[in-house]
Structure 1
Amino acid sequence: MTPTSASPQLGTPAPTGQDGKWTPRLVTVLIALALPTQLLAAAGILSANATASVAQSFQTSQVAWFSLTVVLVSTLLTPFVIKWGDRYGRKPVMLAMLVLGVAGDIIAATAGSFPVLLLGRAIAGCYGPFAAMAFPAVRDIFPRNLVKSASGILGSSMGLVALAAPFLAGWLVDNWGYRGVMWFLAAMTALSFTLIAFIVPRTPRHDRRPGFDWLGGLTLGGGLTAVVFALGQGPSWGWLSGKTLAWFAGGLIALVLFVFVERRSAHPILDLKVLTRRPVALVLITGGLAQSIAFTLPVIGIMLALFPGIPGVSGGLGWTGQHNAVIGVSWNLVMFVTGLFASRLLRKTDARLVWWTGLLLMGSGYGLMGFFHGNEIELVLTACLANFGAGFVLAGSPALVVGVVSKDEQGIGSGMLNMLMNLCGAVVTAIAFAVLTEHGTVFHGTLFYRDTGFAWAFWIGAILTAATLVLSLFIPRQRGEPDAFHPRHETDEEQK
């Protein structure tokens, strides 16, 4: 008997897809889930385009917090969101996050000072863990044989978003500055709420046990948030300053306490036994790091394009938003097409092979970008190579997670992947901004970045991608998957 969901009485029962094939109904549901999920990617692109406008509008050298604030709140809330999704169903949790996202974007759009802007970004950060609900919802709703391809499309559709977002961002920023971006995000988040409410079916509850592990959630979320905060403040406080070390130490102590709390808890907020399985641990760690690189490095590229070129002060290319969008069509189109191709490959190809290919290409692209990024031709060639790999990475990551966890563990697995992606994203972002700051110059109250800083940011991304590739080579073949080097076709019985 299927459990009754605590979701609002909106939508209809899940489409079963009795023959295991795509139907108009399933396509519509996937679109409804994809829009708010990919709005997260669009928000990253739009925010990156708005960063220079924010820095110069408020004349601040702390503009990194325009992005890091969202990561901070998202990291804190992720363990709670995972548990609430299992307890009450994914749908009502998604709706609540969307409401907070709209409110935060409106506050940011109307902010009259930088602290108020950050307050709005913090509230909007409550929408950050949305992907931790969207991918498990696919597992709840779609027929088993469509779960991997649907998850791959959901992940790789970032390429389609990346095609349109730069044009939109250029138009918004060039005409209305960062406020135009914030108003657009508020409107699209409201539209996403409508789609989820009326198109996505009710989702089941996976945890009916009484009680809630508040202490576990606070120690985990608080510990991760403290570490992220220390990483964000490190460039300005100094990496060896007392305040930075104190926040790091406090975060690490909280994470150690979390392990002991969870061992004694009758209702743990995260089942740590999942991470004791080597395949799961390897997939989550490498997936979180690789996706964080795929999302973070394009932000650095956008900043390179939009920051002005001032000899001895700023190493940016000084492009307008629209010019950046036109040039960026090539590499964003590559990501989109590659993602679609990878989603089809995942049906009969070992997901590890797709994953390894993506990491190799992405790392090579960013390594070359560190050397060649001084004009349109160089950026097109190097970014196309990097995004060719990123398309495989973003499609392969959710497929790997689906392959190593059970249906009941899908929420935990996707949530942990999202949490690790946020944490790794904060680390990669903090490192990138630290390198940029080290090679930066404050001019009229605004921090500008020189060319050497941009080059090292790309090289660090390449080094981290290479490390991820080496680690991911130890991921074992998933049960029921063809071997990466000896693929085979499924038998009729296996397909059933």
Structure 2
Amino acid sequence: MTPMSSSPSVDLAARTRTDGRWTPRLVLLLIALAWPTQLLAAGGILGANATAGVAQAFHTTQVVWFGLTLTLVSTLLTPFVIKAGDLYGKRRVMLAMTALGALGEMLAALAGSFWLVLAGRAIAGCYGPFGALSFAAVRDLFPPRLVKQASGIMGSSVGLVALVSPFLAGWLVDNWGYRGALWFLAAATAVACALIALLVPETPRHAFGSRFDWPGGLVLGGGLTAVVYAVGQGQSWGWADLRTLGWLGAGAVALIAFLFIERSSPNPILDLEVLRRRPVALALTAGGLAQTVAFTMPGLAILLALYPHIPGVSAGLGWTAHHNAVVSVSWNLVMFGTGLLVSRYLRHFDARRIWCAGLVVMALGYALVGFYHSNEIELIVTSCIANVGAGVVVAGAPALVVGVVSRDEQGLGSGMLNMLISLFGAIVTAGAYAVLAADSTVLDGTAFYLDTGYSWIFWLGALVTLAALVLSLLIPPLHDPSDDDVPADVQPA
């Protein structure tokens, strides 16, 4: 007899001998989930390249909100997205998110005022938490023996995105301005919506019959959003400014209140009992810290590449954006290739050992980048070493989460990992700019950074990676999804 899912409309197929084999249907399914997941990374690069054009087009000094609006909306909605995926099925929620994302980017591209641009970006922010569902959907939709490999391939594809996006961004912005980048994002997100509609079956409802915990979701999302906002603005406001302290305090109070609200809620938006388990807490924290380094350090390295070289004033390399894109091909290829290789062997070896080895290499790599970054050869060699480790990290993090949560808890685990990456990313970025500011020269109102500051931001990445390694060494042996009693080949209703 075929076991039934927690949703009355979704049946789970019986395990077969082909459960560990790739089929054309599974390849297409992986593409349909990877495209919208990695479009988020591409959107970050395209958005960064479009920012200057937006500022000039609308003559605004508030262009920071062009990116910050999307980040804040995404952070606020993440708890609701996690719960909605379990309540209504991840496919339905992913369709709504991608449709809103395409609509928001289209509105921003058509906008004739800066405030309408921000309104469009706010709507597009509904698409931001997509990764909280896509990796959980892999656990629901792929055969157990392929879960770690499929998750690793999807995570490592960020290296391919980092390889192509700088060239794409330059071509779009140079030929069509910021609107070209936004129209591309709108079209690509619409394609993502179509891929999900055509290729992704519905997933089980892991919280079928329960209700939304609106107070808990609003307090958690609002608290995290307040903290991210304060950290993002702290460098410009000043860390002792009343506004910075006020937003940080409000966020802290909200997060403490959330703990009390969840204890009394019959349908908590996050299962705190799961998050209190030591393996889960360690894996999520270590995974969040390590992926923050893997995603944040390359962006900070762009400052080094593009800032001018003025002896005694600015220690940048003075490259053009195109030259930086050409040079960065090397380490992005290393990251992508390493991720694919690791994904292939995750099903055969202890994912925890592979993960820890990757952390060691990434820490060593960024320590070396801190010492050697004065020309193309030095930066290519040291960054390639760092990105060998980063490739392991982006491929191994999903397997780490899979190994500490059950199938029903996968949505919660993936969602919490995404929230921690956003939170840690804001903190590490703010810390990096604070380090740079401590060793800077202000000339005609513009801050230029000296070499000691650049060295320390890479050493900061190495230190954060070592913290993730220490936590990872405490994680107990991981659960293998191939041992799940219920297979994961889900057919559409």
Cα distance in 2 between the residues matched to 1:265 and 1:193: 34
Match in the other structure for 1:134: 134
Displacement after TM superposition at 1:113 (Å):
5.8
Q: CA deviation at 1:73?
A: 1.8
Q: 1:160 to 1:245 in 2, by over 3 A?
A: same
Distance in 1 separating the partners of 2:55 and 2:446: 6
Change (3 A) 1:168 1:13: farther
- 2:339 maps to 339
Residues 462, 57 of structure 1: CA spacing in aligned structure 2 closer, same or farther, 3 A cutoff? Answer: farther
Counterparts of 1:368 and 1:179 in 2: how far apart (Å)? Answer: 39
Query: Cα distance, 1:47 vs. partner?
Result: 3.2
Partner SS for 1:91:
helix
1:427-466 aligned at under 5 Å gives the runs 427-439=427-439, 449-466=449-466
Partner of 1:145: 145
Counterpart position of 1:392: 392
Q: Does the CA-based 8 Å contact 1:363-1:461 persist in structure 2?
A: yes
In structure 1, the partner of 2:262 is 262
Q: Closer, same or farther in 2 for the Cα pair 1:430/1:5, shift >3 Å?
A: farther
Summarize the Cα distance change of 1:433–1:110 in structure 2 as closer, same or farther, 3 Å threshold. Answer: farther
TM-aligned CA distance change 1:15 to 1:436, over 3 Å: farther
> Residues of 2 paired with 1:436 and 1:429: CA distance?
11
User: Partner of 1:147: helix, strand, or coil?
Assistant: helix
| Kept in 1: contact 2:87–2:210 (CA 8 A) | no
1:231 aligns with 2:234: no
Alignment of 1:2 with 2:15, yes or no, is no
Asked whether 1:295 is paired with 2:298, we answer no
My pick for the range that moved more, 436-445 or 397-406, is: 436-445
Answer yes or no: is 1:19 the counterpart of 2:18: yes
Greater Cα shift, 240-249 or 318-327: 318-327
Cα distance in 2 for partners of 1:59, 1:30 equals: 42
Which residue of the partner structure matches residue 171 of structure 1? 171
Deviates most, 178-187 or 292-301 = 178-187
Residue type matched to 2:136 in 1? P
Equivalence for 1:74: 74
CA drift at 1:179: 3.3
Q: Give the TM-score, by structure 2 length.
A: 0.89
Deviation (angstroms), 1:456: 2.7
- CA-CA distance at 1:244 after TM superposition: 1.2
CA contact (8 A) 2:86 2:411 kept: yes
Note the 1:100-111 alignment, pairs <5 A: 100-111=100-111
Residue in structure 2 matched with residue 486 of structure 1 by the alignment? none
Alignment partner of 1:272 is 2:275: no
Q: How does 1:338-487 map to 2 (within 5 A)?
A: 338-439=338-439, 449-479=449-479
Partner Cα distance (1:477, 1:4) in 2: 31
Cα offset for 1:16? Answer: 7.7
The 1:334/1:52 distance shift into structure 2, 3 A limit, reads farther
Superposed CA offset, 1:157-205 (max 9, x none): 1122222222212322343444332222121111111101111112221
Aligned equivalent of 2:155: 155
Report if the CA contact (8 A) 1:211-1:267 is conserved: yes
Asked if the contact 2:7–2:208 (Cα under 8 Å) also holds between the matched residues in 1, the reply is no
- 1:253 matched to 2:253? The reply is yes
Letter in 2 for 1:106: M
RMSD: 2.8
Distance 1:281 1:169, change over 3 A: same
1:374, distance to aligned residue in structure 2 (A): 2.5
Deviation at 1:454, TM superposition (A): 3.1
Q: 1:471 to 1:2 in 2, by over 3 A?
A: closer
Change (3 A) 1:290 1:57: farther
Q: How many angstroms does 1:45 deviate by?
A: 2.9
Deviates more, 1:332-341 or 1:118-127: 118-127
Tell me how far 1:434 sits from its aligned partner: 3.2
Deviation, structure 1 residue 416 = 0.9
Task: List alignment gaps of at least 5 residues for structure 1.
Answer: 482-489, 491-496
C-alpha distance after superposition, 1:363-419 (max 9, x if no partner): 222222223223211221121111111000011110011111111011111111111
Q: CA deviation at 1:449?
A: 4.8
Structure 1 residue 30 corresponds to structure 2 residue 49: no
Letter of the 2:396 counterpart? G
Amino acid at match of 1:240: A
- In 2, Cα distance between equivalents of 1:316 and 1:259: 45
Decide whether the 8 Å contact of 2:284 with 2:416 is kept in 1: yes
Q: Secondary structure at the match of 2:200?
A: coil
1:284 is displaced (CA, Å) by: 0.5
Structure 2 SS opposite 1:224: helix
The more displaced of 19-28 and 69-78 is: 69-78
Give me the TM-score of the superposition, normalised by structure 1.
0.89
| Structure 1: distance between partners of 2:348 and 2:333 | 24
Q: Specify the code of the residue in structure 1 equivalent to 2:294.
A: A
Distance 2:243 2:158 in 1: 38
Give the C-alpha shift of residue 286 in structure 1: 0.7
Post-superposition shift, 1:119?
3.9
**Matched residues, number:** 478
1:19 aligned partner, one-letter code: T
Taking a change above 3 Å as real, the CA distance of residues 268 and 106 of structure 1, as seen in their structure-2 partners, is same
CA distance in structure 2 between the partners assigned to 1:69 and 1:301 by the alignment: 24
Question: Take 2:432 and 2:348, find their aligned partners in 1: how far apart are those partners?
Answer: 37
Kept after mapping to 2: 8 A contact 1:15/1:142: no
AA paired with 1:165?
Answer: S
**How far apart, in 1, do the equivalents of 2:336 and 2:16 lie?**
26
Q: Percent identity?
A: 64
- Aligned CA distance change for structure 1 residues 420 and 297 (closer, same or farther; 3 Å): same
Q: Which moved more, 1:216-225 or 1:178-187?
A: 178-187
CA contact under 8 A between 1:13 and 1:201: conserved in structure 2? no
**Equivalents in 1 of 2:335, 2:59: separation in Å?**
35
Superimposed CA distance per residue, residues 40-94 of structure 1 (whole angstroms, 9 cap, x where no aligned partner): 1222233344456556766777665544433222111110000000001001111
Is the counterpart of residue 42 in structure 1 residue 45 in structure 2?
A: no
Comparing 435-444 with 188-197, which one deviates more in the overlay?
Answer: 435-444
Change (3 A) 1:372 1:50: farther
The alpha-carbon distance between structure 1 residues 397 and 162, as it changes in their structure 2 partners (threshold 3 A), is same
User: How far apart, in 1, do the equivalents of 2:66 and 2:378 lie?
Assistant: 29
- Per the alignment, in what secondary structure is the counterpart of residue 317 of structure 1? coil
Q: Give the deviation of 1:105 after TM superposition.
A: 2.1
**Per-residue deviation, 1:332:** 0.7
Distance 2:90 2:154 in 1: 16
User: For the Cα contact (< 8 Å) 2:5–2:12, is it kept in 1?
Assistant: no
What letter matches 1:2 in structure 2? S
